[in-house]
Amino acid sequence: MPEWPDVHGQTAELVSGTFGDQGRHWLRDLPDLVRTLAERWRLNPAGEAFPGARASFVAPVNDQRGRALVLKIAPGVPWVRQEYHALAYWDGNAAVRVVDADLSLGALLLERLDPGCSLAASRDPEGDGTQVLVSVVSRFERRRAVPAELPRVETWLKKLDGTPADSAVPGLELERSVARRVRDDLLGRAGRSGVLHADLHHGNLLRHGVDWTAIDPKGLIGPPEAEAAAFLRNPRRDIVGRPDGVTWTIERARSIADGLAWELELVLGWAYVLGVLAAEWSLEDGEDLDDARRWLRCALVLKAAYQAEVA
């Protein structure tokens, strides 16, 4: 009987913090679940679980044909369903390919990317990484009808109308108010919609052969300009640490907008609105208040960049 790797400690903490009792029960049952799926799909472990997984078990495996694959299991089954439908829609076009799935168990069997180094780890030797994003987004399959199983961006944006996750973050409620006005303008101007990755930051862009490939999509239906939002609020240390952060952000956004024939104002507007949501999400995910404040600082840089463009 092969020995399967344990879930990483940080991942276990995030699962418990995000899912509560459901997450703790899932962690308890995970070894049996892994063995069940390994037997069904005839898999053998091929190394330690990936340490970067935030709230799921992700480990390299090999099947009986010797294919290098990845087994991913998560307690948030709706999240896995959305990831599956987005990946199935793109069908390997600039996104990791699904080999098999059991959505009732929150499990995906994926191709393993080679060499698999992320943009966050390698950084783009040709610049700030924007051309990597442009390359991936331009290769996404977008010709078919969007999957009915994926939520629309409006469902995310409703969070701005509710009670903030924690009022102890100074300035968050004010930014929610501003973001609501920008949101309503953006939705009023939105044209065509498509399948969005919706979390296309540097850690989710991996090298595969000579190309870059996306992993871990949230799976969302929305205007294409919203796709750059996660990228533009990362790397956070650069955005909030640079004295020229606003100018740098505008330059990055312009590079993306020019490369994909998008309107710069829309790119920056969506980046700001979803940046405010990122501060809220960090609180919901159990991150500390300091982390939420840092995300809010990123949102403020994005707001300044957006306001500079619309002025």
pLDDT at 286: 64
Residue 283 is predicted with a pLDDT of: 79
Give residue 142's pLDDT. Answer: 77
pTM (predicted TM-score):
0.94
Residue 196 is predicted with a pLDDT of 97
What structural domains does the chain harbor? 9-112 (3.30.200.20), 117-310 (3.90.1200.10)
The Cα 89–Cα 143 span in angstroms is 10
Residue 152's SS3 state is strand
At 141 the pLDDT is 78
Residue 250 belongs to what H/E stretch? helix 245-260
Which among 120, 113, 134 has a CA at the least distance from the CA of 225?
134
CA distance linking residue 262 with residue 271, whole number of Å: 13
Q: Rounded to an integer, what distance in angstroms lies between the CA atom of residue 92 and that of residue 114?
A: 14
Distance of alpha carbon 171 from alpha carbon 72, whole angstroms: 37
The tens-digit pLDDT sequence of the chain (311 residues) is: 568 888 877 788 878 877 889 889 999 999 999 999 999 999 999 999 998 777 899 999 999 999 999 999 999 778 899 999 999 999 999 999 999 999 999 999 999 999 999 999 886 544 679 999 999 999 997 777 889 999 999 999 999 998 765 567 889 999 999 999 999 999 999 888 999 999 999 999 999 999 999 999 999 999 999 999 999 999 998 899 999 999 999 999 999 999 999 999 999 999 999 999 999 888 777 667 888 899 999 999 999 999 999 98
In this prediction, residue 4 carries a pLDDT of 86
Using CA atoms, how far apart are residues 102 and 201, in angstroms rounded to an integer? 27
The SS3 of residue 116 is strand
- Tell me the one-letter amino acid at 6: D
In this prediction, residue 7 carries a pLDDT of 80
